[in-house]
Structure 1
Amino acid sequence: MYSHFVCSPALLLVSLRQHRLFSLTLFSHMDPDLLERALLECGNDVDIATKRLQELCLGAAEATGEKSGPVEEVGTAQLGTLANDGEAAATVAVQNPVAPENVAVDGAGWVDLFLREMMSCTSMDDAKARASRLLEVLQKSISRSAAEEAAQSFHKENIMLKEQIEVLIHENTVLKRAVVIQHERQKDLDDKNHELQHLRQLVSQYQEQLRTLEVNNYGLMMHLRQAQQNNSSIPGCFHPDVF
């Protein structure tokens, strides 16, 4: 009686793997307790349990007039292959990469995604394949995020540089205008200084001429006085204007 419950670890692993694939692959929309009870009633035979549940689903679909859904599309041979061959499960996992919309965007999301993938593993090869695929997707996501951040940073830096260049161009224009104004003022000042120097030279010349005229005038006055004195000392000499 106990022989039905004692099994090797390998058989136990196969049984657990079959049960997991049985519940996750074909009948994920059904109650897990119902799936487990159906599997136990069939002696843990996945093929028999699958046929019975398919018949049950087909009967319910015919009664309601609806299609059976994905249960009809997946055959029992594929389920048996996935249950008995870990490498095939890994191959299927590799052929179904993570959809872009399911890729996590933050650390917590990536942790949840890794946990879900590891909990869905059916063998060591499947775990390696899933981990390799997730790491590849993570690397691409990091590279894409880094490229986007670099592009945004470059765009912001480019905008800042353009603004700085515009400010420098405006300041350069103002400085050029100030230099032109200062040059014109300096030119006017130089012209005025030159004119002032010329006027000072003219004043010096006029002053020299004035002193010369004053000396000449003084000499003429002295000669005139001396001539008058000489004329008044001679007798019989009358003034030429008086006859």
Structure 2
Amino acid sequence: MSAVYCGSKRSYFEDIPSPPSSKRFRCYSPSESPIWSSPPSSPLDQLRSAFPHLELTVLVKALEEHGNDLCAATRSLHSEEKKAEELANKESHAVAGGTFSADSDNHQASGDDWVALLIREVTQSTGIDDAKVRAAKVLQSLEQTLSSRAREEAGKIFQEEKVAVQQQVEDLMKDNTVLKRAVAIQHERHKAFEDANQQLELLKQLIPQYQEKIRNLEMNNYALNLRLQQAEQGNSC
């Protein structure tokens, strides 16, 4: 911020040159160190040098309100700029959190709300440079809000996909359990079938032996019948 010169009260439209050797006390902003130099030609010129980003009408009004007192006008303009900056920061932080102000009923900011905020900040600016600063803060807050919303949406989608994957894993585990039981039952049935086949093969091997025994029994039975008939004939004679 350029330093301004504190001179005696006089009309800011006057142009009274100061002697080259004279030096006057200058009013500085807190962040600046004092530098001695030749004074500007008028209080208005000094204010224009100190506040190049402000409109001329604003500077004239400040001088008029403080009776052409350069130091008082300078302090007033510094105070107004500080208040405007604090207000812009407060509104930007409020927008970044998803709300505009306490009376906005904490509603979620929409596209129209952001446009309205940008227009309000630009119209309340004191000059082109101030408008650029305010617009940049609004756009920065918008970017932060969009990034935050994007992270929230990504987190929600990730959580939903995680739940869906967990459900699929649980379903697969259930299906796997059912499949294992089906395999175990099939294995038992296959084992029982193999046992039955072994018993059948064993019975097939025993069939010839039983057939031989049956033939022997039939022959013995036939021989006994012949003897019985012979014995009956001998008794009848």
Q: Deviations over 1:81-116 (max 9, x none)?
A: 588xxxxx5996389523433445221111111111
CA contact 1:118–1:130 (8 Å) conserved in 2 = yes
Structure number with greater Rg is 1
CA contact 1:50–1:76 (8 Å) conserved in 2 = yes
Aligned pairs for 1:164-175 within 5 A: 164-175=168-179
- Is residue 182 of structure 2 the alignment partner of residue 182 of structure 1? no
Q: Which structure 2 residue ranges, 5 or more long, are not aligned? A: 1-54, 99-108
Residue in structure 1 matching 2:154, options 150, 154, 173: 150
Residue in structure 1 matching 2:85, options 79, 89, 93: 93
Q: Which residue of 2 aligns with 1:138?
A: 142
Q: Which structure 1 residue ranges, 5 or more long, are not aligned? A: 1-12, 19-43, 52-74, 84-88, 229-238
Change (3 A) 1:111 1:120: same
Displacement of 1:172 in angstroms is: 0.6
What is the CA–CA distance in structure 2 between the aligned matches of 1:172 and 1:166, rounded to whole Å?
Answer: 10
- Report the secondary structure of 1:122's partner residue: coil
Q: Deviations over 1:163-204 (max 9, x none)?
A: 111111011111111111111122112111211221222123
Change (3 A) 1:175 1:183: same
Q: Which residue of 2 aligns with 1:161?
A: 165
Aligned pairs for 1:122-133 within 5 A: 122-133=126-137
Q: Which residue of 2 aligns with 1:49?
A: 65
Change (3 A) 1:169 1:50: farther
Q: Is the helix fraction higher in 1 or 2?
A: 1
Q: Deviations over 1:52-77 (max 9, x none)?
A: xxxxxxxxxxxxxxxxxxxxxxx753
Q: Which residue of 2 aligns with 1:78?
A: 75
| TM-score of the aligned structures, taking structure 2 as reference length | 0.56
What is the RMSD computed on CA atoms of the aligned residues? 3.8
CA contact 1:47–1:76 (8 Å) conserved in 2 = yes
Q: Which residue of 2 aligns with 1:35?
A: none
What is the CA–CA distance in structure 1 between the aligned matches of 2:177 and 2:185, rounded to whole Å?
Answer: 12
How many residues are aligned here? 164
| TM-score of the aligned structures, taking structure 1 as reference length | 0.54
Q: Which residue of 1 aligns with 2:56?
A: 14
CA contact 1:114–1:134 (8 Å) conserved in 2 = yes
Percent identity among equivalent residues? 35
